[in-house]
Amino acid sequence: MEKREVDLEVRNLRKYYPAGRRRFLKAVDDVSFTVYRGETLGIVGESGCGKTTCGKTAIGMLPKTGGEVFFQGKDVHRMTKKERFDFTGKVQMIFQDPYASLDSHQKVYQIVAEGIRIHKLASDKEQEQEMVYELLNMVGLNAEHAGRNVHEFSGGQRQRIGIARALSVNPEFLFCDEPVSALDVSLQAQIVNLLMKLQQEKHLTMLFIAHDLSVVKHISDRIGVMYLGKMVEMTDCDELYDNPLHPYTEALLAAVPIADPDLAEKRKGIVLEGDVPSPVNPPAGCRFCSRCSRRMDICLVEEPVMKEISPGHTVACHLYR
């Protein structure tokens, strides 16, 4: 089997926040995964499951509590100033809220040109301008938009500006943190399709965080499912949809409308009950046990660990011992 090159290697990552006397909110608790070069890894889960914190900690936007993260072999949390600078040229982010992530009083040109200047990618003003216009074209805007202020644009257009800004430094890796969840449904597909097109053209690696499984399915090669600070299942996109193993994944999938009547019938009746428990005081044993219709005695006392059930398909559940 061909050996795949690794871009991001996350090992036993933990991110805890103090929550009172000797108590911690365990936002990310012992999570491991790999993002291979050129692939899109989607991470899904309900709001509060830790997926955004996991992504931000994995790319060094947040300090870690424990574990290790390597980007192209370099320890993300122990970089020299020079390594950090190179890293910011290779790894870029696209954020959830295009209203908050861009300064609404800045001109589009300034926003897109900033990275080009910081990383000294243009030899003169003329080349810089050419690069900015090309980036705007690439994301479906044009040179005319460059002289306008961000506040003149709609949410979808702002997200396109955010994507042009991210691409301005020729990154190799994009961290997309719920990039379409603040947009109208009609705009979501446009932005997801744009990201897919750019990924193909520029051979980007992507870590794509979202709570909407249908969005993640569309864009991802592989998907990891997170629940209450833990990764509970990870596999190829089609395998996850055709053969989900973890009861939480099954419940998430049951909520997604599907055209296949046989599959729809199979998934009927799998309902996610109750709310996500607090990550400050997660249930002992399996963290999903308070909501799982298939729990057994062992689930209450012993925490399941991730195991490979078939090639590339891992799950943390006592049903698969």
Residues interacting with ligand SF4, by CB under 6 A?
Answer: 246-247, 286, 288-289, 292, 294-296, 299, 304, 317-319
The distance of closest approach from Cβ of residue 247 to ligand SF4 in the complex, given in angstroms and rounded to an integer, is 5
Q: Which CB, 164 or 299, lies closer to ligand SF4?
A: 299
The distance of closest approach from Cβ of residue 166 to ligand SF4 in the complex, given in angstroms and rounded to an integer, is 37
Q: Are 155 and 185 in contact (CB under 8 A)?
A: no
Distance, in Å, from the CA atom of 193 to the CA atom of 174, rounded to the nearest integer, reads: 15
Q: Are 88 and 168 in contact (CB under 8 A)?
A: no
Q: Which CB, 64 or 318, lies closer to ligand SF4?
A: 318
Residue 120: CB partners within 8 Å, gap ≥ 6? none
Q: Which CB, 109 or 288, lies closer to ligand SF4?
A: 288
Secondary structure, 3-state, the chain: CCCCCEEEEEEEEEEEEECCCCCEEEEEEEEEEEEECCCEEEEECCCCCCHHHHHHHHCCCCCCCEEEEEECCEECCCCCHHHHHHHHHHEEEECCCCCCCCCCCCEHHHHHHHHHHHCCCCCCHHHHHHHHHHHHHHCCCCHHHHHCEHHHCCHHHHHHHHHHHHHCCCCCEEEEECCCCCCCHHHHHHHHHHHHHHHHHHCCEEEEEECCHHHHHHHCCEEEEEECCEEEEEEEHHHHHHCCCCHHHHHHHHCCCCCCHHHHHHHCCCCCCCCCCCCCCCCCCCCCHHHCCCCCHHHHHCCCCCEEEECCEEECCHHHC
The distance of closest approach from Cβ of residue 275 to ligand SF4 in the complex, given in angstroms and rounded to an integer, is 16
The distance of closest approach from Cβ of residue 222 to ligand SF4 in the complex, given in angstroms and rounded to an integer, is 21
Q: Which CB, 215 or 317, lies closer to ligand SF4?
A: 317
The distance of closest approach from Cβ of residue 17 to ligand SF4 in the complex, given in angstroms and rounded to an integer, is 25
The distance of closest approach from Cβ of residue 244 to ligand SF4 in the complex, given in angstroms and rounded to an integer, is 12
Q: Which CB, 223 or 289, lies closer to ligand SF4?
A: 289
The distance of closest approach from Cβ of residue 254 to ligand SF4 in the complex, given in angstroms and rounded to an integer, is 15
Angle (nearest 5°) at CA 189 between 232 and 211: 25
Q: Which CB, 176 or 245, lies closer to ligand SF4?
A: 245
The distance of closest approach from Cβ of residue 309 to ligand SF4 in the complex, given in angstroms and rounded to an integer, is 12
Q: Which CB, 108 or 306, lies closer to ligand SF4?
A: 306
Q: Which CB, 140 or 277, lies closer to ligand SF4?
A: 277
Q: What's at 273, amino acid-wise?
A: E
